Amino acid sequence: MASDFDLTLNPPSRLIDEITTLASRAAAAIRRIDAASRAERAKSDGTPVTAADEAAQAVILAGLSRILPGVPVVSEEMSAAERPKTLTSHFVLVDPLDGTKEYLAGRDEFTINIALMVSGSPAFGCIAAPGLGLVWRGTVGQGAERLALAAGADASQCSSKTPIRTRPWLGRDAIALVSRSHLDPQTERFLAGIPGTKQVACGSSLKFCKLAEGSADIYPRLAPTSEWDVAAGHAILVAAGGAVVMPDAARPVYGRTADFRVPGFLAFGDANAVRSILKS
């Protein structure tokens, strides 16, 4: 029950495991969709949606209503009318299938994103990659980890659990992750100003996970995106030692706009590199 938890503090391990299990069950719902049934249709904003998006959302919303009753939830596939009219100091942001284009193309670079928000900031994030059998999760101030977890399995059934940590900025050998489907000119110009950086394309919120586990260094996205695409990865990355800032170095604040949009952001594996990179 929500009353069991003080969400202004760190979420307890039982809640973390319940959300992880929920993401795993959503992953199983996606995996049950036959490849022949992956037909997309366009939403009102022109972005694609599939039966897998909707199946995962149904699992997640039902589970959150059970484990966090009364806590507002904002999910990508909700209609505007379904989204809460007002938000409390704590709420949940959900993307039931991030990387729909990658999913439709048959790539494993799609994820499920769930984030617990407290006073406009991510406190806990969970990202499941159904095609990889992996889950990343992190609590700000408490650390982050990667789990090997089969789709549909409970969190307690993971075959491995590995603490993860970001790495120091590598300078001219730094790896920059860029969107496989949404690379924009502003981001390209920004990266051109960091000499020697190698660009690697990747889909969905997996880019945050790669930063968090120390296999990449920076993920810039200077075009608008949605809060549910960012919040879970933001929490995991910060928990692992990284940072997420706006292009002007300000801290992102979530849940302040009706359309839940982020105008752009910069994600760093090394939080200490933020000032030096933005000054260069």
Q: Is 187 helix (H, G, I), strand (E, B) or coil?
A: helix
DSSP states along 106-154: T-S--EEEEEEEETTEEEEEEEEETTTTEEEEEETTTEEEEEE--TT--
24: enclosing H helix or E strand:
helix 13-31
Task: Report the pLDDT value the prediction gives residue 11, as an integer from 0 to 100.
Answer: 81
| Top-level class of domain 2-164 | alpha beta
Maximum alpha-carbon separation in the chain: 51
Task: Say which residue, 257 or 59, is predicted with more confidence.
Answer: 59
Side-chain-facing half-sphere of 50: CA atoms under 13 Å: 25
What confidence score (pLDDT) does residue 36 get? 63
- Tell whether the model's pLDDT for residue 54 goes beyond 50: yes
Whole-structure pTM value: 0.94
The pLDDT value given to residue 44? 65
Q: How confident is the model at residue 4 (pLDDT cuts 50, 70, 90)?
A: very low
Q: pLDDT digit string (tens) for 162-205?
A: 999 999 999 889 999 999 888 899 999 999 999 999 999 999 99
Domain ranges (residues) in the chain: 2-164, 171-279
Report residue 146's pLDDT band, with 50, 70 and 90 as the boundaries: very high
Percent of the chain with pLDDT over 90: 81
Query: How many C-alpha atoms does 267 have within 13 Å on its Cβ side?
Result: 30
Q: Which class in CATH covers the domain with range 171-279?
A: alpha beta
Are the CB atoms for 129 and 135 separated by under 8 Å? yes
Secondary structure (3-state) at 45: coil
Q: Which residue has the tokens 């790495």?
A: 167
